[in-house]
Amino acid sequence: MDATVRYGDPAATLGVLNDVISLQLAHRSVRKFGARDVTDDELAALVAAAQSAPTSSNLQSWSVVAVREQSRKTRLAGLAANQAFIAQAPLFLVWVADLSRANRLAERAGVEVAATDYLEATLLGVIDAALAAQNAAVAAASLGLGTVFVGAIRNHPEEVAAELRLPPNAMAAFGMAVGTPDATENAGIKPRLPQAAVMHQERYDADTADAHIAAYDERLTAYNTRYGLAGNWSDRVLARLRGPASMSGRHRLRQTLERLGLPSR
């Protein structure tokens, strides 16, 4: 895979390319899976790759819950915007921002870890989980498995926590469906913004970066049309971020975090 497909631009080139980068350039979300299960050995490899990601101060403030039971996947799908592929995938991984391990450590040691009540600690847990999950996604691709991240797991965080029996001081940050891609799925590699729109040299230059958005809107419109979708990138961004009505209940996340034991002060 080269840069022309990733950017939807015949002029896009990379002067450096290897097998790992080609694998990453070929990434796409998979929402239709074959019947083959993900083996225990494959799951162990994904978790080992995840644990090889960077982690702030070696705190390792994350956990992952592997869900295979059909009824539980179905309930989680219902909590995550009724996305059917969650129940259809052979494996659903729920990545957890997990400060509970540090709190249990403190309890056993008879000391206080008041820093876990602050926003910085919550961010550490979410960032650690994201880094770990992305490592797992690349590892999955190298094994011929497809993945899709599921942010809608945050639509009902307390219900998800109850379903997975998460302890206090932990929250499900996002999910990830995993399985063998079904070749009949009508999907492709979605073009990304041009590098010039996201990479700044030395200082942030909004005018220069934003000048590339119009061309990207045209490319994404062409992609969407091929796959029966509507709209360009700018319209979709504005619709997704228009306000609480577009957030599927996540506008209440701060209050929910406090109830889950993550005050994030």
**What residues does 149 pair with on adjacent strands?**
176
List per-block mean pLDDT (blocks of 10 residues) for the chain, which spans 265 residues.
92 95 97 97 98 98 98 98 98 98 98 97 98 98 98 98 98 98 95 98 98 97 93 95 96 96 97
Q: What is the pLDDT of residue 255?
A: 96
Please state, in angstroms and rounded to a whole number, the distance separating the CA atoms of residues 90 and 9. Answer: 35
Q: What is the DSSP string of 170-229?
A: EEEEEEEEEEPBPTT-----PPPPPHHHH--SSS--HHHHHTTHHHHHHHHHHHHHHTT-
Paired tokens of 36:
């083959």
Please state, in angstroms and rounded to a whole number, the distance separating the CA atoms of residues 157 and 84. Answer: 19
Helices 213-226 and 233-240, packing angle to 10 deg: 90
Please state, in angstroms and rounded to a whole number, the distance separating the CA atoms of residues 62 and 42. Answer: 20
| Coarse DSSP helix, strand, coil percentages of the chain, rounded to the nearest 5 percent | 50, 10, 35
Contacts for 222 with CB less than 8 Å, ≥ 6 apart:
8
The whole-model pTM stands at 0.96
Contacts for 84 with CB less than 8 Å, ≥ 6 apart:
77
Domains by residue range for the chain, with CATH: 28-182+256-265 (3.40.109.10)
206-264, pLDDT tens digit by residue? 999 999 999 999 999 999 999 998 989 999 999 999 999 999 999 999 999 999 999 99
